[in-house]
Structure 1
Amino acid sequence: MSLIAIEASITLNDASVRDAAVAESARFQKATRDEEPGCLVYCFAADPCAPDHIQVYELWADETSLAAHFDHPNYHNMRDMLGRYGLKSAVSRKLRIDKTAPVYGPDFKASASFD
């Protein structure tokens, strides 16, 4: 069984509403984390380099839990709420993670290797 990551960038029509959209999304983020089995990470955050962007990072235990999320009211409520803020675009992708390893070793040195 493989982890599933989703990364996305949402661009709003009006940068001045971005922070309000992120703040309003907090209740749906928390509900998703608390109520949906298999949700390991669910984060919608303001992009500090682009005032009209929201960055999304999700991590799911497996495809079954992600599929259930797409049918869950939390997903529909988040999608509808973001839509009310005026979406210019949304680009997303899912990634299947077949192997994991720590970034830092016992010596606190970063490594790109999975060995």
Structure 2
Amino acid sequence: MRIIVAGWLRFAGDERTCAEIIVGGAAHIAAARAEQGCVAYNWAVDPLEPGQVHVYEEWESEEALLQHFADPAYLDMRGHLETYELTGFHVQLYTASGIEPVYDDDGWPRREIFGVSLGSR
């Protein structure tokens, strides 16, 4: 079952601080992306909330995510983030039992998702 990790971290500072965190964390992001079972891994500056960084991860399985947590690169990443003043966070785990594309072959949002169509509401 696919696992998604999504949420935000808030740091003392502004978008420059967040950019510094992300640029300084590039090697940690790359290391996570290289791990077996990593589908996606990204940090992004929130354009409206000063000091906020969004995190998004997608893993092939629970085992892959648990292995990530045990990897030395994860501990290095935590060490990097701990050099900044964390003022809040909200990061959650989500399971995904089905995966479908958002857009149809013509590039338009699909009118049916997981068997539910706009007409069936």
- The verdict on a shared fold, with TM-score over 0.5 as the criterion, is yes
Deviation at 1:108, TM superposition (A): 2.4
Deviation at 1:42, TM superposition (A): 0.8
Deviation at 1:51, TM superposition (A): 2.3
State the partner residue of 1:91.
90
CA distance in 2, matches of 1:95, 1:22: 23
Deviation at 1:62, TM superposition (A): 0.1
Q: TM-score, normalised by structure 2?
A: 0.87
Q: Which letter does structure 1 place at the counterpart of 2:25?
A: S
Structure 2 residue runs without a partner (length 5+) = 116-121
State the partner residue of 1:13.
12
Structure 1 residue runs without a partner (length 5+) = none
CA distance in 1, matches of 2:66, 2:107: 37
The DSSP-based 3-state class of the residue aligned with 1:90 is strand
Deviation at 1:26, TM superposition (A): 0.8
State the partner residue of 1:60.
59
CA distance in 1, matches of 2:39, 2:107: 25
| Larger Rg over CA atoms | 2
State the partner residue of 1:30.
30
Runs of 4+ in 1 over 4 A off after TM superposition: none
Tell me the percent identity.
Answer: 28
CA distance in 1, matches of 2:52, 2:25: 14
Deviation at 1:109, TM superposition (A): 2.1
CA distance in 2, matches of 1:57, 1:47: 13
Q: Which letter does structure 2 place at the counterpart of 1:113?
A: I
Residues 13 and 50, structure 2, Cα contact 8 Å, conserved in 1: no
